[in-house]
Amino acid sequence: MKIGVDLDGVIYDSEKELRVYSELFEILDLKKNTKTDNQELAYQKRFVWTEEEKKQFWNKYHRPILRTANFMPGAKDVLTQLKQDGHELYIVTARGGYDKTVIEETIASLKDHGLDIFTRMHWNSKNKAKICQEEQLDLMIDDSYDNCKAIAEAGIPVIYVKDAPSKEFEHPLAQTLYNWGEIYRYITDQMKK
Ligand SMILES: [Mg+2]
């Protein structure tokens, strides 16, 4: 199978850290409460912040989190196993849009952890559904409701990774799963069909 994988909230546990520190930043630094929708994945949509405030958050928390976030439990083991099982793996991520230096750092981090296993990496991906189609992926794994919806509607099977108060998503081509163990079981089951 050709499998596309998102980075933040799927390979790296960065989304949870962003959820925590966006709360702290609003309470302690901005001293306000503008949270509008806790189900939104992006803090830019969860809160009503000015461009200057978003920039402050990027410098104080978001940028450091991209450097230091842990891997999601099991991500390294399952990705390595999937590669050993003969699957082709592709990174499809929005990372690298705002700050290009993130790209080289992430490549180095993946390599340092033995994850030099990807056929191709797509950075600053604004239209993931289109990339999935162009790469003719058999499956994409993502934690964004909006991305999963667009990918499924473009006819590509998708695993919607959910471990946060994100929106529910139902589609014949979408499977909601909660961790890398479930993801591995799902993919191996699909291979038996
Ligand atoms: Mg993500």
* 53/104 same-domain check: no
Distance CA 77, CA 68 (A): 19
pLDDT tens digits, 107-149: 999 999 999 999 999 999 999 999 999 999 999 999 999 999 9
pLDDT at residue 188 in the model: 97
Asked if 84 and 166 sit in the same domain, the reply is yes
Considering the chain, what is the average pLDDT of its residues? 97
Same domain, 158 and 145: yes
How close is the Cα of 94 to the center of ligand 1, in Å?
8
**What is the pLDDT averaged over residues 165-193?**
96
pLDDT of residue 193: 86
Q: Are residues 7 and 30 in the same domain?
A: no
Q: Ligand 1 mean position to 144 CA, how many Å?
A: 6
Q: How far is the CA of 34 from the centre of ligand 1 (A)?
A: 23
User: Distance from first CA to last CA of the chain, Å, rounded?
Assistant: 13
Within this chain, do residues 129 and 61 fall inside the same structural domain, yes or no? no
Q: Are 38 and 165 in contact (CB under 8 A)?
A: yes
- Read off the pLDDT of residues 64-105 as tens digits, 9 standing for 90 and up: 999 999 999 999 999 999 999 999 999 999 999 888 999 999
Residues 64 and 116 in one domain: no
**What is the count of structural domains for the chain?**
2
Whole-angstrom CA distances from 33 to 18, 43, 50, 54 are: 16, 13, 13, 15
How much distance in Å is there from the Cα of 8 to the middle of ligand 1? 4
Query: Separation of 93 CA from ligand 1 center, angstroms?
Result: 7
The two structure tokens encoding residue 145: 């409701």
Print the domain residue range for 42: 14-68
9: CA distance to ligand 1 center in Å? 5
Same domain for 82 and 55: no
pLDDT in tens, 145-164: 999 999 999 999 999 999 99
Same domain, 97 and 172: yes
